Amino acid sequence: MANLLFDSLFKPHEGSDKIFLTNADKFSMSYAEFLELAGRISNALGEIGVKSGDRIALQTAKSPHALAVYAACVRSGVVFLPLNTAYTAPEVEYFVRDSGASLVICDPGSAAELRPIAEQAGANLQTLDGAGQGSLADLVAKQTADFEIVDRDEDDLAAILYTSGTTGRSKGAMLTHKNLVSNARALVDCWRFTADDVLLHALPIFHTHGLFVASNVMLLAGGSMIFQPTFNLDAVIDALPNVTSMMGVPTFYTRLLADPRFDRNLVSHMRLFTSGSAPLLAETHIEFEARTGHRILERYGMTETNMITSNPYDGERRAGTVGFALPDVEVRICESDSGKEVASGEIGVIEVRGPNVFKGYWQMPEKTAEEFRDDGFFVTGDLAKFDEDGYVQIVGREKDLIISGGYNIYPKELELLLDELPGVLESAVVGVPHADFGEGVVAVVVMQPKASFDEAELAGALRERIARFKQPKQIVVLDELPRNTMGKVQKNLLREQFADLLA
Binding site for ligand AMP (CB under 6 A): 163, 208, 276-279, 298, 300-303, 322, 380, 382, 394, 397, 403, 408
Are 355 and 182 in contact by the 8 Å Cβ rule? The answer is yes
Q: How far is the CB of 84 from ligand MCA (least distance, A)?
A: 9
With respect to ligand AMP, which residue has the nearer C-beta, 227 or 300? 300
Shortest spacing between CB 458 and ligand MCA, in angstroms: 15
171 forms part of the interface with ligand MCA (CB under 6 A): no
Of these partners, ligand AMP, ligand MCA, none, which one is at the site of residue 209 (CB under 5 to 8 Å by kind)? ligand MCA
What does 404 interact with, of ligand AMP, ligand MCA, none (CB < 5 to 8 A by kind)? Answer: ligand MCA
Which among 334, 332, 333, 313 is positioned nearest to 323, based on CA atoms? 313
177 is an interface residue for ligand MCA by CB under 6 A: no
Stretch that binds ligand MCA, among 42-50, 131-139, 207-215, 456-464 (CB under 6 A): 207-215
Nearer to ligand AMP by Cβ, of 215 and 303: the residue is 303
Q: Are 125 and 60 in contact (CB under 8 A)?
A: no
Nearest residue to 272 via CA among 192, 189, 202: 192
Among 69, 125, 302, 384, binds ligand MCA (CB under 6 A): 302
Is residue 297 within the footprint of ligand MCA (CB under 6 A)?
no
For residues 255 and 265, give the distance between their C-alpha atoms in angstroms, rounded to a whole number. 18
- Partner in contact with 322, chosen from ligand MCA, ligand AMP, none, beta carbon below 5 to 8 Å by kind: ligand AMP
Q: Given the complex with ligand AMP, which of 73 and 403 has the nearer CB atom? A: 403
Beta strand residue intervals within 198-353, DSSP E:
198-201, 224-227, 245-248, 272-275, 297-302, 306-310, 324-325, 330-334, 348-353
Report what 405 binds from ligand MCA, ligand AMP, none; CB cut-off 5-8 Å by kind: ligand MCA
Least distance (Å) between residue 350 CB and ligand AMP: 8
Residue 214 contacts ligand MCA per CB under 6 A: no
φ and ψ at residue 490, rounded to 5 degrees: -90, 90
Name which of ligand MCA, ligand AMP, none residue 394 binds, using a CB cut-off of 5 to 8 Å depending on partner kind. Answer: ligand AMP
Q: Which of residues 428-457 bind ligand MCA (CB under 6 A)?
A: 437
CA 250, CA 281: separation in Å to the nearest integer? 8
Residues 61 and 106: beta-carbon distance below 8 Å: no
Q: Which one of ligand AMP, ligand MCA, none interacts with residue 380, CB within 5 to 8 A by kind? A: ligand AMP
Residue 172 within binding range of ligand MCA, rule CB under 6 A = no
What are the C-alpha distances in Å from 216 to residues 14, 193, 208, 334?
A: 16, 11, 10, 31
Residue closer to ligand AMP (CB basis): 248 or 279: 279
| 30, interface contact from ligand AMP, ligand MCA, none, CB < 5-8 Å by kind | none
Smallest distance, ligand AMP to C-beta of residue 159, A:
13
Instruction: Could you list the beta-strand ranges (E) of 306-405.
Output: 306-310, 324-325, 330-334, 348-353, 360-361, 378-386, 392-397, 402-404
What single-letter DSSP state applies at residue 3?
A: B
- Return the SS3 of 185: helix
From the list ligand MCA, ligand AMP, none, partner contacted by residue 298 (C-beta under 5 to 8 A by kind): ligand AMP
Residue 325 found at the interface with ligand MCA (CB under 6 A): no
Contact 220, 229 (CB under 8 A): no
279 binds, among ligand MCA, ligand AMP, none (CB under 5 to 8 A by kind): ligand AMP
Residue type, 491: K
Pick from 36, 404, 430, 481 the residue near ligand MCA by CB under 6 A: 404
Shortest Cβ 301–ligand AMP spacing (Å): 6
Q: Which amino acid is residue 208, in one-letter code? A: T
- Residues in CB range of 355: below 8 A, 6 or more apart: 178, 179, 182, 183, 328, 329
For 220, the 3-state DSSP assignment is: helix
Residue 24 vs 435, nearer CB to ligand MCA: 435
**Sheet of strand 378-386, all strands in order from the earlier edge strand to the far edge:** 330-334, 348-353, 378-386, 392-397
Least Å distance, CB 355 to ligand AMP, is 18
Query: Exactly one of 167, 230, 242, 490 binds ligand MCA (CB under 6 A); which one?
Result: 230
Measured from the Cβ of residue 53, the count of other Cβ atoms closer than 10 Å reads 14
Looking at the chain, how many residues does it have? 503
Distances, alpha carbon 401 to alpha carbons 131, 175, 346, 411, 494, in Å: 35, 22, 22, 6, 15
Binding of residue 468 to ligand MCA (CB under 6 A): yes
- Does residue 62 bind ligand MCA (CB under 6 A)? no
Number of residues that bind ligand MCA (CB under 6 A): 22
Q: Which does 120 bind (CB under 5 to 8 A by kind): ligand AMP, ligand MCA, none?
A: none
If one asks whether residue 175 binds ligand MCA (CB under 6 A), the answer comes out as no
